[in-house]
Amino acid sequence: MKCLLLRSACLISFVFLTNCTREVRFPPFDKTNAYSKVREQVKFGSRVPNSEAHRKCRAWFKTVFESHGAKVVMQDFKPKAFDGQILDGMNIIASHNHNAKHRIILAAHWDSRPFSDQDPDSLNRKTPVLGADDGASGVGILLEISRIIHENPLKNLGIDIILFDCEDYGQDGGQMESWCLGSQYWASHLHIAGYKADYGILLDMVGAKDATFCKDYYSLQFAPKVVEKVWRIANEEHLSNFFIEKNGEPIIDDHIFVNKDAQIPMIDVINRPLTSKTGFPYHWHTQKDNMDAIDPATLDAVGRVLVKLIYLEEAGKI
């Protein structure tokens, strides 16, 4: 993602935690697995809607999720992009423990931008972005979490992993609705009639070295309690160098439409470098958004926080 808004516009080991009389066990997050899942996506090439890489990658996602025992829904839609193209969109929903009443959404976008409009070399600006960080990093973490849940089943909590499509086919400087086409569609066409979730967490650009995750403006407006949970866990895990105590500026991302249209509180965990002129990582929407931009340590930080959150919620300890 993608665009800022002015405020005026608005192995198999376990770690144990003793809590009262019960112990909560946290399966380890494998950053090597997460990194390999980022790399596998990038190997397909730029996952731009209507491309062969896009079609092959979405089929691979279905296979991976099904191998983890998830119930998979492939939600196809045909949005019209800002440039007039009709896109072959596909949201992918992978549900674990799908009969559970209490549910959490973990989401990321899986498509990559069709042009490198922020690249310093003007000759590159019409070339699609590989999207190792901007898209694939969040998905890589969620694929690893899907595996963890499969091997450490949940009894009381359901997890719905949603990979939104056509998020990054927006017009730079254009209307907010030109972005996040997949989440807009899902929020108004829920994959299950009457679907409800307690809350959601969106991951976007969560793989770069020395990433800093501010408390997103809209997350604080729509879901402050979820922000508090995530940042508290990060602090307990000594990850406050990633999850920093700073409020961020408004930003267009998939969580806006989930909050606004689906009425499900969702936060956005997104890298906002403090020294960046654009407000985003140096490789944002450029040809440098490749595997060189990915640091397993950052994947690990985000993954560990989410795993701890899931199993604390499962045990009713948060």
At 44, which CATH number?
3.40.630.10
Question: What pLDDT was estimated at residue 23?
Answer: 84
Q: pTM to 2 decimals?
A: 0.94
Rg, C-alpha atoms of the chain: 18
DSSP symbol at 102: S
181, two tokens: 């086409």
Is 3 among the domain residues? no
Is 1 among the domain residues? no
Is 5 among the domain residues? no
Is 65 among the domain residues? yes
Distances (CA, A) of 168 to 152, 171, 193, 210, 284: 33, 9, 27, 23, 11
Distance between CA atoms of residues 143 and 141, nearest Å: 6
In sign, the C-alpha dihedral spanning 103, 107, 110, 113 is positive
Distance between CA atoms of residues 212 and 295, nearest Å: 13
Look-up of token digits 């793989």: 207
Q: What residues pair up with 74 in beta bridges, in sequence order? A: 92
Distance between CA atoms of residues 305 and 201, nearest Å: 11
Is 55 among the domain residues? yes
Residue 81: CB partners within 8 Å, gap ≥ 6?
87, 166, 169, 178, 181
Look-up of token digits 């595996």: 147
Distance between CA atoms of residues 151 and 4, nearest Å: 39
C-alpha angle with apex 305: 202 to 259, nearest 5 degrees? Answer: 25
Is 240 among the domain residues? yes
Supply the range of the domain harboring residue 237: 16-315
Cα 2 to chain centroid distance, Å, stands at 14
Amino acid type, 138: G
DSSP E strands, 242-308? 243-247, 251-252, 266-270
Amino acid type, 258: V
Neighbour tally for 279: CB within 10 Å: 17
Question: What pLDDT was estimated at residue 10?
Answer: 36
162, two tokens: 């949603």
Is 7 among the domain residues? no
Question: What pLDDT was estimated at residue 148?
Answer: 98
Strands 103-109 and 89-96: unpaired
Residue 120: CB partners within 8 Å, gap ≥ 6?
286
**What totals of helices (H) and strands (E) does the chain contain, helices first?**
8, 12
Contact between residue 102 and residue 127 where contact means Cβ atoms under 8 Å apart: no
Distance between CA atoms of residues 204 and 110, nearest Å: 10
Is 8 among the domain residues? no
Contact between residue 203 and residue 183 where contact means Cβ atoms under 8 Å apart: no
Distance between CA atoms of residues 85 and 48, nearest Å: 12
Structural domains in the chain (count): 1
Element (H, E) at 214: strand 213-215
Element (H, E) at 135: none
Tens digits of pLDDT across the chain (318 residues): 565 554 333 333 344 444 432 589 999 999 999 999 999 999 999 999 999 999 999 999 999 999 999 999 999 999 999 999 999 999 999 999 999 999 999 999 999 999 999 999 999 999 999 999 999 999 999 999 999 999 999 999 999 999 999 999 999 999 999 999 999 999 999 999 999 999 999 999 999 999 999 999 999 999 999 999 999 999 999 999 999 999 999 999 999 999 999 999 999 999 999 999 899 999 999 999 999 999 999 999 999 999 999 999 999 999
